[in-house]
């Protein structure tokens, strides 16, 4: 990112994991930023390391939090945003019928509704300028059903499908839209989604660092790629899932989750 094509970015879920890594990479490249998350102290700790950084504390599962981000995208008195990174999201593991229904509603609200609304406003603002970048963080889980991660996988399937559609709609417009589809990544996601058992189930070579995922995602959106699957292992899994009959893919995914 030494010569980033972006001038000012808005990053959701910037307080940890992939979002935090994206923020550090952009900050080191001299890109101005609006960092969005619920945890003010973490955002301020990142912001203190770089110039030209705004902290926007917002819960994107609420209308007020979403309105605050939309308002910032619309502002003509502050630096214009030319890169939006929709990274905020979380998962729920376990049997669907046993999950807390409110948690599932919040998961859909954040992973689907907030991302859709922010993507819509970002593109609406970028179109008159004929230039911009949108990076939506999805998952390798989007390529097949996810037994015991059913809602998470379904929300990420939405993200990948929506992003691919937008990439094609905006071809030739100057706006580049990319879906970042990481696999196993060492972040807080495992503790939040109650999937910490994955760390002992899958070998070290199957995991990637958040820094490497962030690097690949930023390069991909700068290059105008529709989908970025970082890492050789993940690329192989994505390719296999594409050609595997859906019934068999479901069985394999269900077996993998039962091994946790």
Token pair for residue 137?
């963080």
Q: Could you give the residue ranges of the DSSP H alpha helices within the chain?
A: 17-28, 40-47, 63-74, 101-108, 115-126, 150-169, 189-192, 198-201, 210-223, 232-243, 246-258
Q: In whole angstroms, give the CA distance from residue 133 to residue 218.
A: 10
Q: In whole angstroms, give the CA distance from residue 10 to residue 55.
A: 10
How many residues in total does the chain contain?
Answer: 260
Residues acting as catalytic residues: 152
Burial category of 23 from C-beta neighbours within 10 Å (exposed 0-12, middle 13-18, buried 19 and up): buried
- What Rg value do the Cα atoms of the chain yield, rounded? 18
């Amino acid at each position: 990112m030494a010569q980033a094509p972006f001038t000012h970015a808005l990053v959701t879920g910037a307080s940890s994991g992939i979002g935090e890594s994206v923020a550090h990479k952009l900050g080191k490249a001299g890109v101005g930023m609006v960092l969005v998350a619920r945890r003010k102290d973490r955002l301020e700790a990142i912001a203190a390391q770089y110039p030209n950084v705004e902290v926007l504390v917002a819960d994107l599962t609420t209308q007020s939090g979403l309105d605050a981000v939309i308002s910032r995208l619309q502002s003509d008195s502050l630096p214009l945003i030319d890169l939006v990174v929709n990274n905020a999201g979380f998962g729920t593991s376990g049997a669907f019928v046993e999950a807390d229904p409110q948690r599932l509603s919040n998961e859909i609200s954040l992973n689907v509704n907030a991302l859709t609304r922010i993507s819509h406003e970002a593109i609406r603002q970028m179109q008159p300028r004929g230039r911009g970048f949108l990076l939506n963080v999805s998952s390798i889980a989007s390529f097949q059903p996810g037994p015991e991660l059913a809602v998470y996988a379904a929300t990420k399937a939405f993200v990948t499908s929506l992003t691919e559609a937008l990439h094609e709609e905006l071809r030739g417009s100057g706006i580049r839209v990319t879906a970042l589809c990481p696999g196993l990544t060492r972040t807080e996601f495992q503790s939040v989604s109650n999937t910490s058992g994955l760390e002992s189930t899958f070998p070290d070579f199957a995991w990637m660092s958040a820094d490497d995922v962030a690097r690949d995602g930023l390069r991909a959106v700068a290059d105008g790629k529709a989908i970025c699957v970082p890492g050789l292992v993940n690329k192989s899994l994505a390719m296999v899932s594409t050609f595997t009959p859906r019934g068999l893919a479901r069985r394999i995914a269900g077996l993998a989750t039962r091994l946790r």
